[in-house]
Amino acid sequence: MSASQQFDDHLLPLWEEKSLTTPAFVYDEAAVTNKLELLAKVRERCGCQILYSVKALSFSSLLNTIADHVDGFSASSLFECRLAREVLGEKGSIHVTSPGLSLSAIQDIANISDYLSFNSSSQWQRCKSHVERLNCGLRVNPELSFVKDDRFDPCRDYSKLGIPLSQLATLWRQQPETFAGISGIHIHTNSESENFRELEQTINKVKNALEDFMPGLDWINLGGGYLFDNTQQLDVLCSIASGLKQQNGLDVFFEPGNAIVNQAGYLVATVIDLFDSGGKTIAVLDTTVNHLPEVFEYQYKPVVLQECADGAYSYRLAGASCLSGDLFGDYCFADKLQVGSRIIFANTGAYMLVKANMFNGINLPAIYSLNSSNELRLQKEYDYGYYRSRW
Q: What is the CATH number of the domain that holds 233?
A: 3.20.20.10
Note whether 290 and 353 are same-domain residues.
Answer: yes
pLDDT at 295 over 50: yes
pLDDT score of 111 more than 90: yes
> Cα separation of 79 and 343, whole Å?
34
Alpha carbons 299 and 291: distance in angstroms, whole number: 14
Compute the chain's Rg from CA coordinates: 23
Determine the structural domain holding residue 97 and report its residue range: 47-256
87 with 141, same domain: the answer is yes
Q: What is the pLDDT of residue 8?
A: 66
236 shares its domain with 385: no
If asked whether residues 165 and 114 sit together in one domain, one would say yes
Tell which wins on pLDDT, 326 or 17: 326
14 in Cβ contact with 31 (< 8 Å): no
> Does 40 map to a domain?
no
Task: Answer whether residue 5 shows pLDDT above 80.
Answer: no
Number of domains forming the structure of the chain: 2
Residues 274 and 368 in one domain: yes
Supply the DSSP string of 29-71, one letter for each residue.
HHHHHHHHHHHHHHHHHH--EEEEETTS---HHHHHHHHTTSS
3-state helix, strand, coil in the chain (%, to 5): 35, 25, 40
Query: Domain holding 296: CATH number?
Result: 2.40.37.10
Residue 155 within a domain = yes
Give the model's pLDDT for residue 6: 44
Cα 102 from chain centre = 24
Last residue of a domain, one of 207, 230, 256: 256
Range in 43-47, 314-318, 327-331, 369-373 the model is least confident about: 369-373
Average pLDDT over residues 236-252: 96
Per-residue pLDDT averaged across 363-386, rounded? 94
284 belongs to a structural domain: yes
Distance separating alpha carbons of residues 267 and 24, to the nearest angstrom: 6
Of the candidates 133, 110, 109, 138, the one whose C-alpha atom is nearest the C-alpha of residue 123 is 138
> Is 33 a member of any domain?
no
For residue 380, what are the CA distances in angstroms to 98, 127, 210, 276, 279?
Answer: 29, 38, 48, 36, 40
Residue 2 binned pLDDT confidence (cut-offs 50, 70, 90):
very low
Tell me how far the alpha carbon of residue 351 is from its chain's centroid. Answer: 6
Whether residue 154 sits in one domain with residue 137 = yes
pLDDT tens track for 146-180: 999 999 999 999 999 999 999 999 999 999 999 99
Residues 188 and 271 occupy one common structural domain? no
> Does 53 fall in a domain?
yes
Residue 14 burial (CB count, 10 A): 23
Residues 213 and 153 in one domain: yes
Could you tell me where the beta strands, DSSP code E, fall in 35-190? 49-53, 72-75, 93-98, 115-118, 135-141, 163-164, 182-186
The SS3 call for residue 377 is strand
* 41 lies in some domain: no
Question: Could you tell me if 39 and 71 are in contact, meaning their C-beta atoms sit under 8 angstroms apart?
Answer: no
Strand partners, 96: 75, 116
Q: Are residues 158 and 276 in the same domain?
A: no
